[in-house]
């Protein structure tokens, strides 16, 4: 799994390559500068420490001031979210990489917060999926939490989720659940994906911990919730839209998983003004 430092190094190497031929030929190494990152829209900020680390990687002596903001804070249009004092060359070279991190992560946090607000006052939890940018999962799932939602599995290694192809490979839900229970720790929960009410009943009888209702119609979901009757956690999943959220939360499900929290979040608008000091 990539660490934040790994991702920063990868992003800088990708952008700079053998050298920033523009900045290297225009700016003397000793020249100092100040950069100001400004929100061009209302947003939920995330990635402040990552952006700061970009500049500090290029210039360890740089001073980064987040102006009192913390990840998860709302930021109004026109507000300064970061001010950086350091080598002018580091500011110019690191500008796009820092903004890329901030815009992407703040975009996820901002969209997630708006979805969470749709189900305010209910007990349902919104959770993400594994539909993340390759290599960015730790950061993007952190952005989901910053936005007020929750994480599903981090990867294939931290929870059992028996999906339709697993079921087909094992010859049924009961057989798949029995087989996996024989091998895993008693501390690990088992979730099964279901697409019919018959599959829901089979999953209940197999003794699973969580039942996913995948791509079911709203009436089917209500029936499934009644059948399950709070015996296990119930997760609704599959092409969930923001417009459906309130009605879906009112069916009685415990969790709603939403790939769009990460895979369809638009980047927010942030810009950086740089001046020589």
Is 163 annotated in the active site? yes
Domain boundaries along the sequence of the chain: 4-116+266-276, 150-257
- CATH second-level architecture of 150-257? Alpha-Beta Barrel (3.20)
pLDDT at position 178? 97
pLDDT at position 2? 75
Distance of CA 258 to the CA centre of its chain: 10
Is 214 annotated in the active site? yes
Angle value at C-alpha 95, between 93 and 100, nearest 5 degrees? 125
pLDDT at position 175? 97
User: Of 32, 131, 153, 181, which one is the catalytic site residue?
Assistant: 131
Is 189 annotated in the active site? no
Residue partners of 242: CB distance under 8 A and separation at least 6:
114, 115, 118
Residue 183 to residue 270: CA distance in whole angstroms: 49
In CATH, 4-116+266-276 is 3.40.30.10: no
Tokens 């008693």 — which residue?
Answer: 186
Instruction: Write out the two tokens for 146.
Output: 């910053």
Residue partners of 226: CB distance under 8 A and separation at least 6:
none
Would 4-116+266-276 and 150-257 be classified into the same CATH topology? Answer: no
Residue 254 to residue 231: CA distance in whole angstroms: 12
Residue partners of 254: CB distance under 8 A and separation at least 6:
123, 124, 125, 233, 234, 235
pLDDT at position 241? 92
Q: pLDDT tens digits for the chain (277 residues)?
A: 678 999 999 999 999 999 999 999 999 999 999 999 999 999 999 999 999 999 999 999 999 999 999 999 999 999 999 999 999 999 999 999 999 999 999 999 999 999 999 999 999 999 999 999 999 999 999 999 999 999 999 999 999 999 999 999 999 999 999 999 999 999 999 999 999 999 999 999 999 999 999 999 999 999 999 999 999 999 999 989 999 999 999 999 999 999 999 999 999 999 999 999 8
pLDDT at position 162? 98
User: Of 40, 70, 96, 231, which one is the catalytic site residue?
Assistant: 96
Nearest one of 37, 110, 111 to 67, comparing CA atoms: 37
pLDDT at position 1? 65
User: Of 59, 191, 193, 202, which one is the catalytic site residue?
Assistant: 193
Angle between helices 173-181 and 197-206 (to 10 degrees): 30
User: Of 163, 181, 222, 246, which one is the catalytic site residue?
Assistant: 163
Nearest one of 226, 187, 227 to 209, comparing CA atoms: 187
Instruction: Write out the two tokens for 202.
Output: 């089979």
User: Of 46, 59, 95, 214, which one is the catalytic site residue?
Assistant: 214
- For 97-122, the DSSP string reads HHHHHHHHHHHHHHHHHHHHHHTTTS
Residue 277 to residue 275: CA distance in whole angstroms: 6
């Amino acid at each position: 799994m990539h660490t934040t430092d790994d991702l920063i190094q990868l992003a800088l190497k990708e952008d700079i390559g053998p050298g920033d031929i523009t900045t290297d030929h225009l700016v003397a190494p000793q020249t100092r500068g100040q950069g100001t990152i400004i929100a061009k829209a209302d947003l939920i900020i995330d990635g402040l420490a990552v952006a700061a680390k970009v500049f500090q990687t290029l210039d360890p002596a740089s001073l980064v001031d987040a102006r009192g903001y913390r990840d998860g804070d709302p930021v109004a249009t026109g507000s300064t979210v970061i001010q950086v004092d350091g080598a002018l060359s580091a500011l110019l070279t690191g500008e796009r990489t820092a903004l890329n991190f901030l815009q992407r992560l703040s975009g996820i946090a901002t969209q997630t917060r708006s979805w969470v607000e749709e189900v305010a006052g209910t007990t349902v939890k919104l959770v993400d999926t594994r539909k993340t940018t390759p290599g960015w999962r730790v950061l993007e799932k952190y952005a989901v939490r910053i936005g007020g939602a929750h994480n599903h599995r981090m990867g294939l290694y931290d929870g059992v989720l028996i999906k339709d192809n697993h079921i087909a490979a094992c010859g049924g839900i009961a057989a798949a659940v029995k087989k996996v229970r024989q091998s895993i720790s008693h501390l690990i929960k088992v979730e099964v994906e279901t697409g019919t009410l018959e599959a829901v009943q089979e999953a209940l009888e197999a003794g699973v911990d969580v039942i996913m209702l995948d791509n079911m119609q709203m009436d089917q979901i209500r029936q499934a919730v009644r059948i399950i009757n709070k015996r296990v956690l119930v997760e609704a999943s599959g092409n969930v839209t923001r417009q459906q959220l309130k009605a879906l939360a009112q069916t009685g499900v415990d969790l709603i998983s939403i790939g769009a929290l990460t895979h369809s979040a638009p980047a927010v608008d942030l810009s950086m003004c740089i001046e020589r000091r």
